[in-house]
Each structure stands twice: as C-alpha cells, then as structure tokens.
Structure 1
Amino acid sequence: MTGGARRRTRLGTLLVFLAAWLCVSCAAVAEFTPVGMAELFPSDRQSKTTLVINKVLERFHYRDFKLDDGFAQSALRNYFDDLDPNRSFFFERDIERFTRGGNRLDDDLDAGKLDVAFDIFRVYRMRVDNRIEYALKLLEEDFDFDKAETYRFDRENADWAKSDAELDDIWRKRVKYDYLTLKLSEESDEEIRDQLRKRYEGISRRVHQFTGDDVYQAFVNAYTGTLEPHTSYMSPSTSENFDISMRLKLEGIGAVLSGENEYTVIQRTIAGGPARQSGQVHTGDRIIGVAQGKSGEMEDVVGWRLQDVVDKIRGPKGSVVRLEVLPKASGSAGRTREVELVRNEIRLEDQAAQSYLIDGPENAPDLRIGVVEVPAFYRDFRAESEGSRDFTSTTRDVRRLIKDLQAKGVDGLVVDLRGNGGGSLTEATSLTGLFIDEGPVVQVKDALGKVDVEVDPYPGAIYSGPLAVLVDRNSASASEIFAGAIQDYGRGVIIGEPTFGKGTVQTLIDLERYLPGNAAELGRLRLTMAEFFRVSGGSTQLRGIEPDIRFDLGPDLSEHGERSLENALPWDRIRPARYSRYRPLDVEPLRQRSSTRIREDDGFRMLMSRGELLSEINEQQEVSLRESERRRESERRDRVLEEERNRFLRARGLDPVDEDADEVDEDALERQQELIDRIQAKEAARILADVIVMQGSADRPRAAMRD
C-alpha cells in the first residue's frame, strides 16, 4: 500500500482466511481441467442465490443496505479491481464499456440477473491469455540491466492502460522486473526463464479453471465487499471444504494467509505453529514458492489463487514443506530466502498462556514483575459441552499462572496480548473479571439497535495488584475488548501500539433456509450482524484501543488493520454502561520516563530501524531495473537490519545466529528470537515498576490473590 490508498480485500481472501491457517491434511491437488467459455454463463441457481442474498443483507446486515445505482456502480468497480488488482490486463475501454451499462445493474441484481458479471469475466480471460502470450515471447529475448529505467510494481491506483502499446510496455518492464528479482537470488539464466515460463503459464491456466461458481463467488464478494469488508459469500463447494477443514485436525504451518495483487502474503502467524516457532516467517512476508519434502522441486506460486496456494502448503503432520519467501523487510528490491518447516498439529495447548519473571528492572532493582503471555482467547467448547469440569480455558490458565507468580512474590503483572487476534468473547469477559471487582465488560449492539451487556462473571477481583497490558497492531477483537475494559475502568496502564480495530461480529448463514422447498444448495453468507462497544460507550471498531503509553515502532498505522480496509464500518458511540472507575493514574510522568529510556535502548533502536525501513518500503511504488542499483539497495537494507540486530544481541551477551547458514543452531536461534520478542515486554515491566514506585506500592505488602 502506498500514498495513503485504502487496501481492498483481494479475491478469495476472506473465503480461505481460516482454511489458510488450518492447513488440514488432504490429498494432493487434482489435475487441472480447463473450463470452456460456454460454461461461463449464469445459472438459475445463482440467480435465486442473488435474490436471497439481497433479502438477507436488507434484513440482517448491521449496516443499512440499499441496492441503488451508486452501490451497483461501486460493486462493479470493486469487481474490476478484484480481478485485476494491479491493472495489468484490462484496458480503459473495457472499464468504460461496462461502466456505461452499469446504470441498470442495480435493477438487474434486484431481479437476480448476472449477465454483466459473466460478460466481464469472459473478457478478462481473453485479456489474460493475450498478456501471457506476450510475456512468454519476452522471455525469449535478452534484457539490458545497465539501462536506467524503473518499474511501477504497485499499480493499484494507476490509470488503466489506453492502448496495446501502453500495456506492452507495462508487461515488458514487469517481465524484466521478475527476471531481475530472481537474478538477485543468484539463480541461473536457464532456471529463471524456466521458472517465469511456468509462472506465467500458471496464471493463464488458473484463470481457465474458474468455473461458473468461481466467477459467481468472485462477483458476489465484490458486491458484498462494497457494503463492508467482513461480509462474504461461500459457494456450495467452498462451504463443503470449509466444513471438512473444521472437522479435521489443525495440521499445517500455522499461518493466516491473504492474497494481495498476485502474491500470497503472511498476514499473521499462529501461536504454537511451526511458522512462528521457526522465527523465520514474519507478518508481511510474501510466499513466492512452495516445495514438498526436503528435496522436492520448488513450485512458483506467484499469480496463483489463494486457495490453490493453501492446498500446496497444507499437508499431514510431520511432513516437510519448504517455502520460498520474499521478506517484507527487504521490500521489492530484496532477495528471497528458503524456509523449511515441519507441518504439525496446532493444538489448544500450544496456544496456551505462559508466564515468566522479570527480576529487578533497571529502574527498580528490588521489584519482581510477572509477565503472562496470552496468544489467543481459547476455550474448548466441545469438552465443556460434554460435561468436562476441567476443559481448557484462557481464564483458567491465566488464573493458575497468576497464582504461581504470586507464590514467587511478584510486585506487579504485565498481560502481554501482542499478536493476539482474538477468539472467544466468553473468555475475554471472564478474563477481565479476574482483574475488576464487578460490572460490565463489553456492550454488543445488533442490527436492530438492541444492546446486550456482557458482565463480569466473577464477584470480586482475583488479582488486585499493579497491572499493565501490552498490545500491538495485531491485537484484535477479544484482545481489544479486554484491553478496552481495563483502560475504561482505570484498572491498569495500556502500553504499546494502537490495536487492529476489529470491532464487528460475524455469523455464518445457510442461504437455503430462506428459500423453502428449493432442492439446490445455495451456499453461505458470512454476515456482519453486530458491533462491540466499550463500557465507556465508544466502539473498538476502526480506531482500536489507543494505548496510554505508545510505542511508535513501524509503518503508518493507517496502512494496517481495519483502518486499511475499504468500506470498513466507521467508529461509533452509544450510551456508556454504568460502571465505577478505579483510582486515576497520571500517565504523563510515565510517558516521559519511558521515552527517555527508549531513546537509549539498543533493542528499541533495532525495532525502530526496522520500522523506518518498512515505512520506506510501504511508500515505494517504483523500483529500479538497473541491476547495480537493486543490489546496492538490497545490500543497504540487509546491512542496516543486520547491524542493528547484531549490536543488540551482543549487548545482551549473545552471538548472532546466521539464519542463512547451511547449518543453523535451532536452540540458539530460538534464544535469539525470544530475546528480541521480549524487548517491549521488558519496557512494559519498567513502566509498571514506575507505577509501583510512584504509587508507593513497593512499601506495601504484595497484592493478594483471592482463591
């Protein structure tokens, strides 16, 4: 994303969001069978489905839905953008042609007519075939990498091409860019041409695999995404795959993937999963190749549909998958790296809360601070429904950890919610109840305006000592409910980055139930039907939770989270709930002391250097096609990151691990990553120590814990 543009949810992203990290065991992907043009016309079943979707959106969606000319035109634009996000296939005349007829699209959709959606896709398929044919011809030529020219790799906001000559030049530079990127990874000329030939042929082949249901699903998701980004449609076949995924064990690499332009991007890694445990896969990294086993051929996946990439990555527990990754921190000028992962079952216990001690923060050597890491809000609903009295639960685990820390004589507690994407609302409510006496935790407003209040289920606080909550840009949903309640009550100090801003509630609706007597399956709608509000009245939607003490570590947050999604619901406010605040805390002195420490901290210098590089990369729209400049730029970025990291590690008494070495000491790499991961937690502990000293808590008996 560049220039403040709003990110669109790419084709199929929401549909395989969950499947991407479930990565369940499955058979090999079936052989491709081309779909004939004669099959790409709307069916009677799809027409009926559209009528049902319109009805469901009108009656149940949280945002008011009105199918008028403006909405239909926006849906059409979104459809073009979803099919061709980098504006590399369609001509301006294609857009104008279909847009002119779009003034009747609202009436067509209201009547269940879908001809324009299929007309556009058939033109799209022809445009793809034409471009791929040209790209393959370019691969037979030589490239001049001494010539001073640039390639605009981010064309999301560029004008559509007006002529064949203009599109030819775009593709000439694109092929040259793709070639140079692989050349920087030290691949041979023969290997590069072979890989790119397979890549381009794969793009065309996959477009030819789109069935009528695939086209329909793509269009409906552009349609629902015009209303709000978390509402999406699953065709009957996609619904069936989703159900299979939910029934099978969670085996794979443990990463949530999304599709951006023609790349598969790591959106976040899952606690306990191989991707996060490796320390070599990070948010924003792009997967450009997938190989099976230790010696399988690396298959280029640029331009693949997201679901097809997921099918390649997932596999049985214990098997090896190798990923060719273009690191986010290297940008488009960087070199790729290969990461080997052993697929594993992602179990609840692997996501369980954990704790550790920070003895004697530098600013208060006599204090002991306990840290509880909560990577997810989990609850074993199946075990609970079967009557188990000892089912797995975030709240139960955290309560036990606090009791253990209390026995070790901690003076304060940090709850670390970084990277916690949410989970069970019940757990967010009950966990909050460990720290407050009584009262409401979160308000939930539905599409009819009815407000339900989730209340602390525990009478009295389980832990009443000094408290801090550490969050980051990936803390979302249930994490924001917990952090927002702690902040509203004044129960603890919130530290870190502004959170993700996911404040809406979705449900899955089987569409067949709204068409009685219909024999055909219609699929499902993932529908936004409610919104979370804090007890103070403000929503967690869009704005997220603003920390009391903020760490500015990375790129502009307008490019991340809910703020970056097009058509996201706006922030809103309702009447506050009735609750009693704790003693107010003056955070300004805490901010000043923390700021002074951070300026002198080599760990934060490393994090901020990385953040500055990421900001630079995010703002970049063009890249040089001169090899010497690309190598210089890649080496500069790698050098900055390596020097800052090594300086920090050596200051902490560790020899840096070369992650690209043939033999990597996995234990040393894990210790190195743990040290880096705890940089912010240690500063949160120092801030909490300041709170304790400022309030005179150090002279009082340590906070008691109720049984």
Structure 2
Amino acid sequence: MNKTTRKFLSGAMLATLLLPAAVFLHSGFATVADSAETTERLAPKPEHQFASRLATRFISGYHYHRGDLEEELSGRIFEQYLRLLDPNRVYFTAADIADLERYRGYLGDALKTSDLDPAFDMFERYQRRVAERVAYAEDLLEEGFDFSIDEEYRFDRTEAEWAADGEALDEIWRQRVKNDWLRLRLADQEDEEIAETLGDRYSNLGRRISEFNSEDVFQFFMNAYTRSIEPHSAYMSPRSVDNFEISMRLSLDGIGAMLQRETEYTTVMEVVPGGPADLDGRLQSGDRIIGVAQGDEEMVDVVGWRLDDVVQLIRGERETVVRLEVLPADNALSGPSAVIDIVRNEVQLEEQAAQRELIEVPAGDDDVRRIGIIRVPVFYVDFEGRARNEPNYRSSTRDVRRLINELAEEDIDGLVIDLRGNGGGALVEATTMTGLFIDEGPVVQVRDSRGRVSLEQDREPGMAWDGPLAVLVDRRSASASEIFAGAIQDYGRGVILGESTFGKGTVQNLIDLDDLSRTENDRLGQIKLTMAQFYRVAGGSTQARGVVPDIALPTAGDPEEFGESALDFALPWGEIDPADYRPMADLSGLIGLAEERHNERLAEDDELQGLLEEIAEWEETSDRTTVSLNEAVRRQEMEESEERRSRRFSQSRSPHDAVEGPDAEADESEDGVSDEDSEPDLYLVESARILSDLIELDRETHLLAHRGDLKLSASID
C-alpha cells in the first residue's frame, strides 16, 4: 500500500475523540492517573463524594446540552461504564451482567447523592474477573496448541452477546491465547520464547489491573457519566491535572503522538504534526503499539498495560532512541508486526508551520497550469507575542500570507489549501485565515448554552489571494479546519475537495472544581465541559455532519461510521438564522462539469484505478471480525497480501510522471536519494487536476477569480 493511501486509510479508522491540539504539541501523549502499587481498599473517599456532587450540579446547569436526560441517563451511564471496563466483552459473563443490572436505573441518582458504592462494586467484580482470566490464560500456555485445525477466532466482540457462563468464556480465551501464540509464531518466534512472552503479558495484565486505586475508579465512573451526556466532556482527577499541567509547562520529550487504550492495546489516535513520529513517517494513526524498547535493549511487551505506564516507557531524554513494535493499522490483529525506531525530541515549530510546494498540471498539448499548494497542519499562533503586539509574532495566518506572496511571484494559476489531518487549533486563526480569501465579513457564528449568538468576523479589507481556490480536507480535518472550509464553501469562494470532515462543532471550557469549592484542603480535579456550538454563516452547524465536499475523492469506509456522528451521544446537527453575509459566487455549475472530468480519470487513470483497488481491498478486510487459527491459512493470507503490495509498488510511478514540479529535472534530492523511489500524493495531484479543470471551465463564466490580472480568468465587471 502506498504512503498516500496508508495515511488516508489509517485516518479512516480514526473514529475517536479529537481533543485540542495544544494538549499534545509538547507532551505527545495522553495521560491518566499515575499507577502506584497499593494495598488500598477500593472505596470512595470523601473528596470523591464532594466532587461528584459539585460536578453534577455544574454540568446540569451549564452544559450546552441541558435537555431532560433524567429517564435515560442512568442507563447510559451503566452502558458506558461497562464499555470502559470491558469493551471487548471478554471478562464479564451474562450472569455478571444480569446481577449488575440492579444498578442500571440508579446510577444517575447515585451521582447526585454521592453514593459511589455501585461504581466501586462493579469495578471490584471486574478486577476479580480479570484475575480469573489471567490465571486461565497462564494455564493454557502449559498445554500448547494444534495449529492445523480449521477454526475461527472472533477477535472483535464489541457487538457480541456476553458469554453465557464461565465455560463459554474459557472457550473465548482459549482461542484468544491461541491467536496470540500464532501471531508471534508468524513473526518467526520460537515456541519457548512465545510462551515466555505471553506469560509475561498475561501476568502484567493481572498485576496492572490490581494496581488501580480509588482515584482511578472515580475517574472512570465520572467519565462514564460525562460520556453519557456527549463525547467531548470529561473529568480529570487531580493527578491527571498535575500530569497535564506538567506537560504544558515543560518541554517533555517523546515521539509526538496521541495515544489511547483500546481493549488491551495502546493505539495511536493521532500523530502530531512536526513531532518525531511525524517526521519519521512510519507510525500512523490506528497503529497498535505492542512493544517498547529503549535503544538496543530488549523489547518489553506492553499488551494489557495501563496507558500511563506505556507512556512512561515511550517518554525519555531528548536525542535518545525508543523502539516501538507495532501492529500497523491496515493489518488485522493476526498480521505481522513491525519495529520502528524513533529519536525522541520535542515538537519543532518549524515542522508544524505551513509549508508550500508547486505542482504543474498538463493543460493541452504543450501548456501547463501552475497550481500552488499550501499545507496547514494546525491553526497555530503565538498568543503571548500577539498580546504584546510584537511585530513578528508567529501565526498560521501570517505564514500563509507570506507563502501566498511567494507563490504569486512564481506566477501560479490556482491555489490549494491542504487541511488533511488538521485537527484544529486557535479559533482566531481560522477567522483571520479565512480573511485572506474573502473581503470583510462574518466567518463563524458561536451559540452558547443560553442561546446567545456571537459572530467571529474578518474585519480586514482586501484579499491576499483572490484567484481560483480549492480546499482539500479529510475526516481528520476538525474544528477550526471545518470553520475555515465551511466559510469558503458558504461564500462560494472556492471548491471543497476530499471527504466529509470530522464534524466537531462544539466548544469546550476547562473548569477547575477547586475554584467552585469552599474547602481548601481537598483537591477535586477538573471537568472539561461543552458550553457552546459553532454555526456556519449560512446557518447550518459543523456539528455531526462536518463539511461535505463539493467533489468527493475516493475514500475507504462509510462516512457515517467515522467522525463525530459515530460517537455515542454526539450532539445533533442544528441550524440557526444565517448571518448577514454576501456570497461571492455560485460555483455549482462549474463543479458539476469538473466532477464529470474527475470521474473520467477515475475510470481511465492507472494510478487512480490502483487506489480504488486498494480501497476495495481494505473495505473487504476491515469488515472482518474473525480470523483463522490455522497456521497454513494465515501464512497464505500474509503472502498474498505482501504480493499485492509488492506488485502495486513496482507498478507505481514517480510523481514526475504524473505532474511536473519546479525541480523536475533534478535526478537526486539534497540527501542524494533518487526521487524516482518516492510516491505521488494522489489526492494532492488529483486536487490540482480538478482545480486546473475548473480554471479551464471558468474561461467564459469568470466566477473563480476576483481580479483583473489573473492569467486564465478575468474579473467580474
């Protein structure tokens, strides 16, 4: 699978909460409370009871969605708590669930009255069940397995029925352990080594679950509560707050990735632009980290570990090497792993900054159109420098303006703003950057929990670029990216290409419960609360639906299964009155004609056909919830997959075969590596082609450009 497709497909697997970029720019990871060995009895503390009363009152009074959830809230909390404890349904039995059902209708009232005993009771049962499963798994390692038998293992049990009893759960775990063994066997490990690795894995799982303390349990339960209202509100315990504040104060060094725990695996949610992992290029969102090693030391198996413990292994001194063993996002749990070595460092501002390139698209027999590309990884700004009125403070808007001027000097015919993977950033930057492409006017509407609407506006006359414009987005484009793309679309200022964006149209504030408390001794933690929602100038929200592209590019998966709308209890799309704004053009006619040309290329272009084949293959395998436990079958599947990848790679062309760039005559890059081995970014190339088509189609209508000196389009009189 080529690099472009891998990045796009791994993004398709990201159906999880996108948090503000600032949380990860320095630390590169998410944290939960530190684990410490303890013999503490798991019981709620007085400060937990006080915090629950305070938090529930504040959330019910100030959350943006203050609808009447009383009748269904307890049931939601019950389901969310079970999902946090046993997401893959491999610990509890149906009998356990039937017994715990007595809490289903009570948990909402329990929070209000600070009766936290049900939450701790459920957690203690979870601990016991994990200990039982670990003991059973360790016994299985003594027996060994026959890998010539044809049987299937259901590795995804998130939607399965709960196991009827302990005997049924034993069978699930027999297959699970057999699959764990087979996966290592396919990686050419010897049986003795496999038994030792898995023995350590299972014992670590049991030990780490037993180490959870009362603060952890309270945090889990409170997050079950906040997730039952909507997915972006959360509770952070005092210890988690400390970790977060440390990560924001210090330049902590890591790999530059946002991690989360899914079942027993630590999964990469997002690779931070400009971080060590991003610059390395091999780690992708959706990859599962199963081992961590320091330099040349022995790899430590981390399956089943707590998230914060995995983070501690990955974090380290600057300029040191950490090795990660990962299951790639586009491989099943059965697939081969890969080892990636990354040099720890802090995220570099220069690597986060907007960057430019130029693509020349054939236009007729001897002509080309020059399409400028500006990649914006995040909407960034130096708030302190801006507040001090420093003349050269750094911001994404300022950098994009400079890059536009540089590209204009190179006589470009059109401009593509690439927002793929841009999870947001500063609202002010989304507003001011939109202002580079429109003449004064509103950019986004913000509605608070009381129904009051305010406007964020571009107040600067004129445009930095008033020629043909396209914006390239994907489902990882969120928040500020959606504000920018939505405004460009509503004004008719440019064409939106790619896939529907994430759909995060809500605003969160961080509330310190200590500030609301009258006590001084106890620390209560913080809540992240959704308190407002974004609406486009045309009136529709960016929430849930995201920004729908004018021309959709090929993508994997059902858009309804990814992004905000796929999250439990996401706030719905809504609409308010449009703002007072004047669209600049109606591009619908041009877009329809350009889409026809795009579809023709999809049917005829070899590289785009290869992309469609890879997407079809991914969709076929991504729906699988089972895997064979027959070694011969698994090896054959691996060989066939590698053969397909090798065949496609050998057929892929250099980017210079598809388009001509400014350095097309160079045989080698600056580091002496031939560019012939690089792969084209097919989505970027096709975006440039579509914009080129639009420029040609606009010769008569003159809708794309708003100036008189543009090469291929006249201004409107």
- TM normalised by structure 1 equals 0.91
Q: CA–CA distance in 2 between the matches of 1:23 and 1:670?
A: 35
Alignment partner of 1:333: what SS? Answer: coil
Matches within 5 A, 1:18-29: 22-23=26-27
Q: CA RMSD in A?
A: 2.6
Residue number in structure 2 paired with 1:269: 271
**What displacement does 1:299 show?**
1.0
Q: Which amino acid aligns with 2:412?
A: V
Residue number in structure 1 paired with 2:694: 691
Residue number in structure 2 paired with 1:605: 609
Matches within 5 A, 1:458-497: 458-497=460-499
Q: CA–CA distance in 1 between the matches of 2:636 and 2:28?
A: 41
Alignment partner of 2:653: what SS? Answer: helix
Moved more, 266-275 or 537-546: 266-275
Residue number in structure 1 paired with 2:297: 296
Q: Which amino acid aligns with 1:526?
A: K
Q: CA–CA distance in 2 between the matches of 1:379 and 1:7?
A: 26
Residue number in structure 1 paired with 2:572: 570
Alignment partner of 1:72: what SS? Answer: helix
Against the structure 1 CA distance between its residues 20 and 440, is the aligned structure 2 distance closer, same or farther, given a 3 Å change threshold?
A: closer
1:528 and 2:530 are equivalent in the alignment: yes
The answer to whether the 8 Å contact 1:79/1:219 transfers is: yes
1:216-253 per-residue CA deviation (whole Å, 9 max, x = no partner) reads: 00111011101111111000011001000000115321
Against the structure 1 CA distance between its residues 265 and 602, is the aligned structure 2 distance closer, same or farther, given a 3 Å change threshold?
A: farther
1:595 and 2:599 are equivalent in the alignment: yes
**What displacement does 1:638 show?**
2.5
Residue number in structure 2 paired with 1:662: none
1:112 and 2:120 are equivalent in the alignment: no
Q: CA–CA distance in 1 between the matches of 2:286 and 2:672?
A: 24
The answer to whether the 8 Å contact 2:28/2:258 transfers is: no
The answer to whether the 8 Å contact 1:17/1:257 transfers is: no
**What displacement does 1:385 show?**
3.1
The answer to whether the 8 Å contact 1:15/1:232 transfers is: no
Q: Which amino acid aligns with 2:592?
A: E
The answer to whether the 8 Å contact 2:363/2:369 transfers is: no
Alignment partner of 1:591: what SS? Answer: helix
Pick the aligned partner of 2:630 from 623, 626, 637. Answer: 626
Q: CA–CA distance in 2 between the matches of 1:307 and 1:363?
A: 57
Residue number in structure 2 paired with 1:649: 653
**What displacement does 1:67 show?**
6.0
1:137 and 2:136 are equivalent in the alignment: no
**What displacement does 1:25 show?**
11
Alignment partner of 1:443: what SS? Answer: strand
- In structure 1, the gaps of 5 or more residues are 1-5, 655-664
How many matched pairs? 680
Q: CA–CA distance in 2 between the matches of 1:279 and 1:248?
A: 25
Q: CA–CA distance in 2 between the matches of 1:425 and 1:538?
A: 18
Q: CA–CA distance in 2 between the matches of 1:602 and 1:702?
A: 33
The answer to whether the 8 Å contact 1:602/1:647 transfers is: no
Residue number in structure 2 paired with 1:352: 353
The answer to whether the 8 Å contact 1:436/1:491 transfers is: yes
Alignment partner of 1:127: what SS? Answer: helix
Q: Which amino acid aligns with 2:249?
A: R
Q: Which amino acid aligns with 1:411?
A: D
Q: Which amino acid aligns with 2:693?
A: D
Q: CA–CA distance in 1 between the matches of 2:678 and 2:619?
A: 24
Against the structure 1 CA distance between its residues 141 and 666, is the aligned structure 2 distance closer, same or farther, given a 3 Å change threshold?
A: farther
Q: CA–CA distance in 1 between the matches of 2:100 and 2:170?
A: 23
1:294-340 per-residue CA deviation (whole Å, 9 max, x = no partner) reads: x1111111112222222221222211111111112222331001011
**What displacement does 1:625 show?**
0.4
Residue number in structure 1 paired with 2:6: none
Q: CA–CA distance in 2 between the matches of 1:670 and 1:446?
A: 54
1:113-151 per-residue CA deviation (whole Å, 9 max, x = no partner) reads: 100000111111111111100000001112111101011
**What displacement does 1:394 show?**
0.3
Moved more, 255-264 or 546-555: 255-264
Alignment partner of 2:290: what SS? Answer: strand
Identity of matched residues, %:
46
**What displacement does 1:611 show?**
2.2
Q: CA–CA distance in 1 between the matches of 2:162 and 2:670?
A: 48
Q: CA–CA distance in 2 between the matches of 1:670 and 1:268?
A: 30
1:538 and 2:530 are equivalent in the alignment: no
Matches within 5 A, 1:147-296: 147-249=149-251, 251-293=253-295, 295-296=296-297
Q: Which amino acid aligns with 1:358?
A: I
1:160-214 per-residue CA deviation (whole Å, 9 max, x = no partner) reads: 1121110100000000011111111111112211111111111111111111000
Alignment partner of 2:467: what SS? Answer: coil
The answer to whether the 8 Å contact 2:27/2:248 transfers is: no
**What displacement does 1:383 show?**
2.5
Q: Which amino acid aligns with 2:52?
A: T
Residue number in structure 1 paired with 2:8: none
Pick the aligned partner of 1:702 from 678, 696, 710. Answer: 710
Q: CA–CA distance in 2 between the matches of 1:530 and 1:701?
A: 43
Q: CA–CA distance in 1 between the matches of 2:410 and 2:93?
A: 68
- In structure 2, the gaps of 5 or more residues are 1-12, 659-668
Q: CA–CA distance in 2 between the matches of 1:47 and 1:74?
A: 20
Q: CA–CA distance in 2 between the matches of 1:57 and 1:226?
A: 12
Q: CA–CA distance in 1 between the matches of 2:655 and 2:513?
A: 60
Q: CA–CA distance in 2 between the matches of 1:668 and 1:498?
A: 39
Pick the aligned partner of 1:420 from 419, 422, 428. Answer: 422
Against the structure 1 CA distance between its residues 324 and 25, is the aligned structure 2 distance closer, same or farther, given a 3 Å change threshold?
A: closer
1:65-114 per-residue CA deviation (whole Å, 9 max, x = no partner) reads: 55635211220121111101111111212211121243333332211110
Alignment partner of 1:118: what SS? Answer: helix
Q: CA–CA distance in 2 between the matches of 1:209 and 1:390?
A: 50
Q: CA–CA distance in 1 between the matches of 2:247 and 2:259?
A: 15
Q: Which amino acid aligns with 1:701?
A: D
1:578-604 per-residue CA deviation (whole Å, 9 max, x = no partner) reads: 111112121111001011113333333
Matches within 5 A, 1:119-134: 119-134=121-136
Q: Which amino acid aligns with 1:330?
A: N
Against the structure 1 CA distance between its residues 17 and 685, is the aligned structure 2 distance closer, same or farther, given a 3 Å change threshold?
A: closer
The answer to whether the 8 Å contact 2:14/2:563 transfers is: no
1:89 and 2:97 are equivalent in the alignment: no
Residue number in structure 1 paired with 2:55: 53
Alignment partner of 1:74: what SS? Answer: helix
Alignment partner of 2:319: what SS? Answer: coil
**What displacement does 1:646 show?**
2.7
Q: CA–CA distance in 1 between the matches of 2:135 and 2:416?
A: 58
**What displacement does 1:628 show?**
1.0
1:332 and 2:340 are equivalent in the alignment: no
1:416-457 per-residue CA deviation (whole Å, 9 max, x = no partner) reads: 111111101000000000000111100111111111110013
Pick the aligned partner of 2:45 from 31, 43, 46. Answer: 43
Q: CA–CA distance in 2 between the matches of 1:552 and 1:416?
A: 16
**What displacement does 1:33 show?**
4.8
- TM normalised by structure 2 equals 0.90
Residue number in structure 2 paired with 1:313: 314
Q: Which amino acid aligns with 2:335?
A: G
Against the structure 1 CA distance between its residues 625 and 683, is the aligned structure 2 distance closer, same or farther, given a 3 Å change threshold?
A: same
The answer to whether the 8 Å contact 1:609/1:644 transfers is: no
Q: CA–CA distance in 1 between the matches of 2:617 and 2:50?
A: 50
Against the structure 1 CA distance between its residues 23 and 298, is the aligned structure 2 distance closer, same or farther, given a 3 Å change threshold?
A: farther
**What displacement does 1:535 show?**
0.6
**What displacement does 1:263 show?**
1.2
Residue number in structure 2 paired with 1:659: none
Pick the aligned partner of 1:680 from 673, 677, 683. Answer: 683
Q: CA–CA distance in 2 between the matches of 1:8 and 1:413?
A: 30
Q: Which amino acid aligns with 2:327?
A: L
1:272-313 per-residue CA deviation (whole Å, 9 max, x = no partner) reads: 2222222212221111111111x1111111112222222221
Pick the aligned partner of 1:385 from 384, 387, 398. Answer: 387
Q: CA–CA distance in 1 between the matches of 2:281 and 2:607?
A: 17
The answer to whether the 8 Å contact 1:469/1:492 transfers is: yes
Residue number in structure 1 paired with 2:342: 341
Alignment partner of 1:463: what SS? Answer: coil
**What displacement does 1:610 show?**
3.0
Q: CA–CA distance in 2 between the matches of 1:673 and 1:306?
A: 37
